């Protein structure tokens, strides 16, 4: 299916052009037309992105769907796209989620719908650009540009404390990324190229690697976000409109994890290896400490935001536990690293579905009740039985129930971590208890019990549009949980290649 088309350019530019078109057509004030237009653009992009999967050669080590042109000659910056098994699934996740986000904002967004839809479409293109770019400067442009639509989404359609949240979000993430920019420029001066793949192969001594590693860490750790630079996320989520939260949780956080895979590990393997304790420590703190913090949240969105941080802890743990797996003398055959990384990646995709679903669910409630406080609810199942069934399903997925996608990544990372150290697996596995505790306790207080007040009594169950969104996500969660092979198979070659590269010292 359209394998010889410049698919990556299309999935980047179609939504951006679409966003501009939506923006322009919005002046006529025809909200319905605007939505439809936005939906068409997002659907076209989604269908095109599926071509990346069907046309993907799972055995090819090199980048695929490569496009490369000179962009800024004097700085040797190239318009350079390409995907491997690591980035391709994330692009599809992006295009898939955007369709649902457009649908989720359908009649909910009454204030400036054109701008709203446009912001999400442009956002989609930029995020796809981040995943597809193979030129560091090109990547950086997308990376920073992405902040603008999100800044607008939170700042315009956000809640009462949106100004604080947007500024915090922007400065936090921007603060992280400037260090990355410095690292990239340094490498450019060393080797006269911005190509990421060249950076993978360039020689760097330990000092250089350590500094570059820390610079990248600043950027990616904020994005993931890792403890202790996570505090922007709960605020941003709470203030963001539903769609913003979904994109934030489902895609933007993944860009941090992707950054570790694309930059930190292959460019600075020795520094990654020597500083892995730091990442592992931060990840395990995220799982345990944030798990407890999530337990006591009274705002549903904050609770899910903290849950996201805990779940992303599995991603960073999986990515950096590999050195310990290789070095553990008790791990006789030294396997496990591939599983750790693939587990981390599955966890990213799964978290995209599940956190997206959870934020959409909170949105469904918020649209009706205009409250996110757990105490304002109680007994919702009595008035919204269908919705409650979905809630229990996604809650269980969030708690990592086998058969749902939430289980796959956690299971792989826990098993792989055990090969590194008993205590890594031990602390990571506490999520089985903590994750279930904070998620199901929320479900109990919001959904179960007698109807607690008249607002809950007046609730109407989900409409067919909401039902469609929920069902689509539920199917995705189940499909990945019952048969992850089609997604994991795509990753094998790239992950193997990456790890072979990481295993070789640059010193």
Q: Which residues bind other proteins (CB under 8 A)?
A: 168, 172, 228, 231-232, 289, 292-297, 330-331, 333, 335-339, 342-343, 379, 381-382, 392, 396, 401-403, 407-408, 411-412, 414-419, 422-423, 425-426, 429-430, 432-433, 436-437, 440-441, 444, 447-450, 482-485, 488-489, 492
* Integer angstrom CA distances of residue 212 from 315, 342, 409: 21, 25, 29
3-state secondary structure 101-147: HHHHCCCCCCCCHHHHHHHHHHHHHHHHHHHHECEHHHHHHHHHHCH
DSSP 68-83: EEEEEGGGTEEEEEEE
The Cα 347–Cα 422 span in angstroms is 21
Residue number, 396 or 476, with CB nearest to other proteins: 396
What is the CB-side half-sphere exposure of residue 168 using CA atoms within 13 A? Answer: 18
Which residues have C-beta within 8 Å of that of residue 177, sequence separation ≥ 6?
Answer: 140, 143, 144, 218, 219, 222
**Minimum distance from residue 75 beta carbon to other proteins (Å):** 32
The Cα 97–Cα 124 span in angstroms is 9
Buried b (16+ CB within 10 A) or exposed e, 140-161: bbbbbbbbebbbbbbbbbbeee
Place of tokens 């010193």: 507
**Minimum distance from residue 211 beta carbon to other proteins (Å):** 22
Q: Which of 238, 223, 233, 240 is nearest to 155 (CA)?
A: 240
Residue number, 206 or 278, with CB nearest to other proteins: 278
Residue number, 21 or 440, with CB nearest to other proteins: 440
**Minimum distance from residue 410 beta carbon to other proteins (Å):** 9
**Minimum distance from residue 292 beta carbon to other proteins (Å):** 4
Is the omega angle on the peptide bond into residue 228 within 30 degrees of 0, that is, cis? yes
Residue number, 485 or 504, with CB nearest to other proteins: 485
**Minimum distance from residue 479 beta carbon to other proteins (Å):** 12
**Minimum distance from residue 463 beta carbon to other proteins (Å):** 17
CB 135 within 8 A of CB 77: yes
**Minimum distance from residue 427 beta carbon to other proteins (Å):** 11
CB 222 within 8 A of CB 176: yes
**Minimum distance from residue 408 beta carbon to other proteins (Å):** 8
**Minimum distance from residue 54 beta carbon to other proteins (Å):** 20
**Minimum distance from residue 481 beta carbon to other proteins (Å):** 10
Residue number, 168 or 223, with CB nearest to other proteins: 168
Q: Residue 29 in 3-state DSSP? A: coil
Residue number, 108 or 218, with CB nearest to other proteins: 218
Residue number, 147 or 341, with CB nearest to other proteins: 341
Helix/strand/coil percent split, the chain, to 5 = 75, 5, 20
Residue number, 492 or 501, with CB nearest to other proteins: 492
Q: Which of 126, 169, 165 is nearest to 18 (CA)?
A: 126
Residue number, 197 or 479, with CB nearest to other proteins: 479
Rg (CA), the chain: 22
**Minimum distance from residue 422 beta carbon to other proteins (Å):** 5
The Cα 356–Cα 358 span in angstroms is 5
Residue number, 186 or 441, with CB nearest to other proteins: 441
Residue number, 99 or 495, with CB nearest to other proteins: 495
Count the neighbouring beta carbons within 10 Å of the beta carbon of residue 21: 17
**Minimum distance from residue 288 beta carbon to other proteins (Å):** 9
CB 195 within 8 A of CB 80: yes
Give the phi and the psi of residue 380 in degrees, each rounded to 5. -60, -30
Residue number, 278 or 392, with CB nearest to other proteins: 392
């Amino acid at each position: 299916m359209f394998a010889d088309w410049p698919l990556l350019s299309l999935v980047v530019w179609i939504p951006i052009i679409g966003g501009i078109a939506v923006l322009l057509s919005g002046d006529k004030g025809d909200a319905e037309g605007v939505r439809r237009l936005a939906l068409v653009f997002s659907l076209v992009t989604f269908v095109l992105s599926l071509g990346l999967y069907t046309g993907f050669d799972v055995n090819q080590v090199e980048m695929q769907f490569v496009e490369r042109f000179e962009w800024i000659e004097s700085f040797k910056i190239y318009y350079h796209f390409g995907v491997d098994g690591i980035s391709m699934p994330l692009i599809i996740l992006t295009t898939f989620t955007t369709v649902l986000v457009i649908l989720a904002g359908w009649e909910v967004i009454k204030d400036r719908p054109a701008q709203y839809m446009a912001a999400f479409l442009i956002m989609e293109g930029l995020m796809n650009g981040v995943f597809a770019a193979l030129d560091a400067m090109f990547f950086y442009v997308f990376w920073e540009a992405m902040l603008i639509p999100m800044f607008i989404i939170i700042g315009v359609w956000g809640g009462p404390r949106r100004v604080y949240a947007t500024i915090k979000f922007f400065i936090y993430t921007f603060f992280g990324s400037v260090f990355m920019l410095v690292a990239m420029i340094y490498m450019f001066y060393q080797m006269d190229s911005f190509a990421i793949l060249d950076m993978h192969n360039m020689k760097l001594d330990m000092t250089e690697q350590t500094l570059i590693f820390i610079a990248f860490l600043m950027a990616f750790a904020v994005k993931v976000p890792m403890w202790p630079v996570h505090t922007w996320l709960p605020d941003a989520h709470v203030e963001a409109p539903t769609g913003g939260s979904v994109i934030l949780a489902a895609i933007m956080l993944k860009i941090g994890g992707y950054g570790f895979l694309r930059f930190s590990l292959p460019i600075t393997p020795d520094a990654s290896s020597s500083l892995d304790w730091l990442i592992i420590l931060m990840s395990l703190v995220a799982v345990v400490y944030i798990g407890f913090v999530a337990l006591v949240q009274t705002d549903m969105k904050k609770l899910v935001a903290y849950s996201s941080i805990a779940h992303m802890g599995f991603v960073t743990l999986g990515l950096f536990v590999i050195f310990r797996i290789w070095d553990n003398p008790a791990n006789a055959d030294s396997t496990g690293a591939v599983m750790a990384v693939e587990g981390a990646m599955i966890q990213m995709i799964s978290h995209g579905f599940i956190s997206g679903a959870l934020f959409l669910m909170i949105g469904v409630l918020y649209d009706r009740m205009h409250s996110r406080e757990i105490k304002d609810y109680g007994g919702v199942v009595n008035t919204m039985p269908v919705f409650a069934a979905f809630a229990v399903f996604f809650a269980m997925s969030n708690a990592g129930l086998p058969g749902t996608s939430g289980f796959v990544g956690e299971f792989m990372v826990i098993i792989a971590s055990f090969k590194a150290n008993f205590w890594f697996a031990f602390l990571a596995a506490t999520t089985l208890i903590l994750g279930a505790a904070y998620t199901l306790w929320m479900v109990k207080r919001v959904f179960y019990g007698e109807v607690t007040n008249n607002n809950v009594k007046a609730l109407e169950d989900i409409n067919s549009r909401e039902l469609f969104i929920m069902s689509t996500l539920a199917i995705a969660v189940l499909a990945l949980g019952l048969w992850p092979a089609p997604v994991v198979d795509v990753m094998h070659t790239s992950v193997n290649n990456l790890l072979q590269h990481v295993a070789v010292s640059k010193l």
